[in-house]
Chains A and B, each alone.
Chain A
């Protein structure tokens, strides 16, 4: 496309639209000056139109920094109208000045029609389509106007100028950048008022829209405001809805099905849905901006299907009664919490990024009186800690804090109701969570968590009460927020180490929590090393096209033999996605069957559309794509390299490790042989793996029942050494080596 000439159109129709001008000037029919202004306009109309010297410049080419193909378009009504308007204002006739200014805008607006016609023809000649329209400063930075200015030779062709702020001179001009696509049928070139932030623009064309939302048997109606996406409207209507990437159009999790009405197919929709799915009405709600009334159906995946893992392994707890005795005798580190008089019930909480798990502990017997789990509704601000940190820094810290406080309050009240006890019997609470979750709960500034050198506001043990920590409506039950080590090795790991008893055993063990940041700790009572590694959300089903959480219907077991694929889903429900263990199994089977080669390349046959695993109830094909394989390569290499580096620094071999504790629900489901087969775990460690369950919750329970636990946690928070893997040469070397799938 280089060597393209500038296409210059000057013989263009000039049109002013009375309605535009009335709207721009906010002239209402009931205005006392309505007649007068209208008369003035009619008098001026001809003169104004004669002053217009319309021109459109179009040039096809490429954007230098990205290499994307684009059409650069600049249209102008010339400079005379603006000069005339300014003169009128200066001479005191503000009315004429304003009419001239509005007329110029209207004329520029109507240049859109011949410009679009010409653009369509030129695209057809070149066999290309238009995937996106971009205007500064809404869709692209103002600097881009310089590129348009230069590409269209606006100075040479029309004698135009550019200000140091990248505005065109004359000012009644407009620059547009159209991104091209190979597909000549696509023509997304219209200006879309709904995406423009100028809500007060008098020319905004956007009727208010009613949306019917069908969900199973119920139908409710939601109004969508100007500039709102379907997702935003749903969230605002208090309908919790999955938005793993925070509504940025790339996770593909917020799909809804359009039943009636119209929702334009966006480029993001095309990336996520197949043409059959698009035809069936599937759209990403975060990218859907309806232009008329519509009916949608919410996708099958439901928030309340997430179940947090409650059970956990660990050392045998100390009998609480003896703890009480020790406490009375002043032999504990618990600050009096364990006094026999203060026994009663305790509430243990693990705030996970996805789910919140809780247990009501009868502290006399040390057993659980009730358990519960619920989704962490902060998920609507994004699935991983990074997007939450982002949201918090974007001024939503208050909303995020409110969200988790509300979840905790509701969860605790559920527990009490289940157990049939009242708040009077609750004597204490302990909350564990990763550092970000704790920051969000405390309302701390998260900006230090997102950027190097990753500085948390506070990771110390916080001793407060539920009234202050959770809700004004709760009594002042003493509550502790468990201490963490750093921005990425948080209180959940400290809690996990105590739960597994790693810090008391002579034997060396390893604890791994495979979340977005694969956190790990290795050591014994002498010394513990910890690290976190950016594994990404792949093991939680994130960034995987069909990825999903551990919900009913998630593919969790996969066997491929010959041409046959068989899958098992959680709870045996109809397939609706692939959860973390399913992802590991799929890759392992693809590698074993040589459908993926050792470099991670998917067989040619499946390269484009992905490898088909199963079909959903409504006939959509669940596939595993090349991109998904790449995500797993990155994730598994990060985990493996993290573990190997810890072993190296500790100075032991994998064979010398006594137990590998795999925390989280993932551990129960994971086939460690398959995990080792794809290279995620060193084979010698895989042999010693033990699913440890929710060790974070386990540690919180321990805090409530074991008078020594508090002291252990504080010591761990102080003394645990953290390795910085990102700057570690060995880590980086092993990471690169482990990216491949080795032949075993």
Chain B
């Protein structure tokens, strides 16, 4: 469908206005809102995410595209609610206790939304139990944690340990990231996934949720 491809194209170029207009136009023409979302907005965002991972584009291009996507979603949202559209999966995400950095986490949230996930952003300096309580509350698939310093990194383990204590560890996919985090640390603390950048995080999250719910 031409108009959906056009939405994707404009989104990749970060043209928020064009995206908005086209989404409205598509709705008016009776195009399925779910198709506009999946094949237009999210598909465009995934193209950008892939390019970002391959260093073909940089953060600004992604930001501009994400903004265009959000503009499109704002128009689409009421229709999506109407038809009872479900997100790919749900994630609670936050920066761990003691850590106040949020820019990296914000980028992950942005990319995960672009992968069709519903995100509950817990913000920074998040208490271990808050991750778990919120995840239980919204029925999340993923718990995502960010830490920017080696001094706060151990709090990721605290969350996982608390999950085990509460007997809910296996209910969730645990993802970790942040400058000092690496695969061996993730293995050590028993996280399910470590991803080095926001685009990969979104890709992995989507895949993991689809596998989990398959």
The distance in angstroms between the C-alpha atoms of A142 and B14, with both chains bound, is 40
Q: Given that A163-B98, A163-B100, A164-B98 are known contacts, is A93 also in contact with B67, CB under 8 Å in the complex? A: yes
Q: Are A165 and B97 in contact (CB under 8 A)?
A: yes
Contacts of B73 in A (CB 8 A): 92
B149 interface residue per 8 A CB criterion: yes
Q: Given that A89-B110, A94-B110, A165-B99 are known contacts, is A33 also in contact with B151, CB under 8 Å in the complex? A: no
- Closest B residue to A93 by CB, please name it: B67
Q: Are A32 and B61 in contact (CB under 8 A)?
A: yes
The distance in angstroms between the C-alpha atoms of A101 and B125, with both chains bound, is 18
A86 interface residue per 8 A CB criterion: yes
Q: Are A94 and B66 in contact (CB under 8 A)?
A: yes
Which among A32, A98, A143, A165 is the interface contact of B103 at CB below 8 angstroms?
A98
Which among B64, B70, B100, B149 is the interface contact of A169 at CB below 8 angstroms?
B100
B59 interface residue per 8 A CB criterion: yes
Q: Are A36 and B14 in contact (CB under 8 A)?
A: yes
Q: Are A32 and B98 in contact (CB under 8 A)?
A: no
Q: Are A36 and B58 in contact (CB under 8 A)?
A: no
The distance in angstroms between the C-alpha atoms of A28 and B57, with both chains bound, is 10
Q: Are A137 and B60 in contact (CB under 8 A)?
A: no
Q: Mark A87-128, 1 if CB is under 8 A from B, else 0.
A: 001101111011001000000000000000000000000000
The distance in angstroms between the C-alpha atoms of A97 and B58, with both chains bound, is 16
The distance in angstroms between the C-alpha atoms of A37 and B74, with both chains bound, is 22
Contacts of A85 in B (CB 8 A): 103, 106
Which among A82, A95, A163, A169 is the interface contact of B67 at CB below 8 angstroms?
A95
The distance in angstroms between the C-alpha atoms of A167 and B95, with both chains bound, is 13
Q: Are B64 and A92 in contact (CB under 8 A)?
A: no
Q: Are B98 and A95 in contact (CB under 8 A)?
A: no
Which among B60, B74, B98 is the interface contact of A26 at CB below 8 angstroms?
B60
Q: Are A167 and B63 in contact (CB under 8 A)?
A: no
Tally B residues with Cβ within 8 Å of A: 36
Q: What is the minimal beta-carbon distance from A536 to any residue of chain B, in angstroms?
A: 33
Q: Are A165 and B106 in contact (CB under 8 A)?
A: no
Q: Are B74 and A95 in contact (CB under 8 A)?
A: no
Which among B63, B99, B125 is the interface contact of A94 at CB below 8 angstroms?
B63
Q: What is the minimal beta-carbon distance from B181 to any residue of chain A, in angstroms?
A: 14
Q: Are A86 and B123 in contact (CB under 8 A)?
A: yes
Q: Mark A75-90, 1 if CB is under 8 A from B, else 0.
A: 0000000100110011
The distance in angstroms between the C-alpha atoms of A32 and B57, with both chains bound, is 10
Q: Are A27 and B99 in contact (CB under 8 A)?
A: no
A646 interface residue per 8 A CB criterion: no
The distance in angstroms between the C-alpha atoms of A32 and B150, with both chains bound, is 37
Q: Are A89 and B151 in contact (CB under 8 A)?
A: no
Q: Are A171 and B101 in contact (CB under 8 A)?
A: yes
Contacts of B13 in A (CB 8 A): 32-33
For chain B residues 69-100, which have a beta carbon within 8 Å of chain A? 70-71, 73-74, 97-100
A31 interface residue per 8 A CB criterion: yes
The distance in angstroms between the C-alpha atoms of A95 and B62, with both chains bound, is 9
Contacts of A196 in B (CB 8 A): none
Q: Which of A34, A164, A165, A168 is packed against the most chain B CB atoms within 10 Å?
A: A165
Contacts of B203 in A (CB 8 A): none
Q: Are B110 and A27 in contact (CB under 8 A)?
A: no
Contacts of B107 in A (CB 8 A): 94
A370 interface residue per 8 A CB criterion: no
Q: Are B151 and A165 in contact (CB under 8 A)?
A: yes
Q: Given that A163-B99, A163-B100 are known contacts, is A95 also in contact with B151, CB under 8 Å in the complex? A: no
The distance in angstroms between the C-alpha atoms of A25 and B59, with both chains bound, is 6
The distance in angstroms between the C-alpha atoms of A270 and B193, with both chains bound, is 49
Q: Are A33 and B100 in contact (CB under 8 A)?
A: no
A166 interface residue per 8 A CB criterion: yes
The distance in angstroms between the C-alpha atoms of A166 and B61, with both chains bound, is 34
Q: Are B152 and A165 in contact (CB under 8 A)?
A: yes
For chain B residues 98-128, which have a beta carbon within 8 Å of chain A? 98-103, 106-107, 109-110, 121, 123-125
For chain A residues 128-179, which have a beta carbon within 8 Å of chain B? 137, 141-143, 163-169, 171
Q: Are B60 and A142 in contact (CB under 8 A)?
A: no
Q: Are A101 and B103 in contact (CB under 8 A)?
A: yes
Q: Given that A92-B74, A94-B106, A95-B64 are known contacts, is A31 also in contact with B58, CB under 8 Å in the complex? A: yes
The distance in angstroms between the C-alpha atoms of A55 and B150, with both chains bound, is 28
The distance in angstroms between the C-alpha atoms of A92 and B75, with both chains bound, is 13
Q: Given that A92-B71, A101-B103 are known contacts, is A137 also in contact with B149, CB under 8 Å in the complex? A: yes
The distance in angstroms between the C-alpha atoms of A28 and B64, with both chains bound, is 14
Q: What is the minimal beta-carbon distance from B209 to any residue of chain A, in angstroms?
A: 22
Q: Which of A26, A31, A98, A141 is packed against the most chain B CB atoms within 10 Å?
A: A98
Contacts of B106 in A (CB 8 A): 85-86, 89, 94, 97
- Closest A residue to B180 by CB, please name it: A137
Q: Given that A36-B14, A167-B98 are known contacts, is A137 also in contact with B58, CB under 8 Å in the complex? A: no
For chain A residues 1-51, which have a beta carbon within 8 Å of chain B? 25-28, 31-34, 36-37
Contacts of B110 in A (CB 8 A): 89, 94
Q: Are A98 and B63 in contact (CB under 8 A)?
A: yes
Contacts of A94 in B (CB 8 A): 62-63, 66-67, 70, 106-107, 110
The distance in angstroms between the C-alpha atoms of A141 and B74, with both chains bound, is 45
For chain B residues 141-177, which have a beta carbon within 8 Å of chain A? 149-152, 155
Q: Given that A142-B149, A165-B149 are known contacts, is A31 also in contact with B97, CB under 8 Å in the complex? A: no
The distance in angstroms between the C-alpha atoms of A90 and B106, with both chains bound, is 8
Q: Are A28 and B58 in contact (CB under 8 A)?
A: yes
- Closest A residue to B114 by CB, please name it: A94
Q: Are B150 and A137 in contact (CB under 8 A)?
A: yes
The distance in angstroms between the C-alpha atoms of A142 and B100, with both chains bound, is 13
Which among B60, B103, B123, B155 is the interface contact of A37 at CB below 8 angstroms?
B60
Q: Are B99 and A167 in contact (CB under 8 A)?
A: yes
The distance in angstroms between the C-alpha atoms of A26 and B151, with both chains bound, is 28
For chain A residues 445-473, which have a beta carbon within 8 Å of chain B? none
For chain B residues 24-83, which have a beta carbon within 8 Å of chain A? 57-64, 66-67, 70-71, 73-74
Q: What is the minimal beta-carbon distance from B211 to any residue of chain A, in angstroms?
A: 28
Q: Given that A137-B149, A165-B97 are known contacts, is A31 also in contact with B67, CB under 8 Å in the complex? A: no
The distance in angstroms between the C-alpha atoms of A85 and B152, with both chains bound, is 22
Q: What is the minimal beta-carbon distance from B166 to any residue of chain A, in angstroms?
A: 22
Q: What is the minimal beta-carbon distance from B28 to any residue of chain A, in angstroms?
A: 23
Q: What is the minimal beta-carbon distance from A328 to any residue of chain B, in angstroms?
A: 56
- Closest B residue to A167 by CB, please name it: B100
The distance in angstroms between the C-alpha atoms of A446 and B12, with both chains bound, is 54
Q: Which of A86, A94, A143, A168 is packed against the most chain B CB atoms within 10 Å?
A: A94
- Closest B residue to A95 by CB, please name it: B63
The distance in angstroms between the C-alpha atoms of A92 and B106, with both chains bound, is 10
- Closest A residue to B150 by CB, please name it: A137
The distance in angstroms between the C-alpha atoms of A141 and B151, with both chains bound, is 9
Q: What is the minimal beta-carbon distance from A28 to any residue of chain B, in angstroms?
A: 7
The distance in angstroms between the C-alpha atoms of A164 and B71, with both chains bound, is 37
Q: Are B60 and A31 in contact (CB under 8 A)?
A: yes
Contacts of A82 in B (CB 8 A): 102
Contacts of A26 in B (CB 8 A): 58-60
Contacts of B14 in A (CB 8 A): 32-33, 36
Q: Are B64 and A165 in contact (CB under 8 A)?
A: no
- Closest B residue to A102 by CB, please name it: B103
Q: Which of B14, B109, B151 is packed against the most chain A CB atoms within 10 Å?
A: B151
Q: What is the minimal beta-carbon distance from B111 to any residue of chain A, in angstroms?
A: 10
Contacts of A169 in B (CB 8 A): 100
- Closest B residue to A88 by CB, please name it: B106
The 11 sampled A-B contact pairs (Cβ below 8 Å) are A25-B60, A34-B60, A89-B110, A94-B66, A137-B151, A141-B151, A142-B149, A164-B98, A165-B99, A165-B149, A166-B98
Q: Apart from A85-B106, A89-B102, A164-B125, what 9 extra A-B contacts exist at CB < 8 Å?
A: A31-B60, A33-B60, A89-B109, A92-B66, A92-B74, A94-B62, A94-B63, A141-B151, A165-B149
Query: 3 smallest A-B Cβ distances: which pairs?
Result: A165-B98, A92-B70, A165-B152
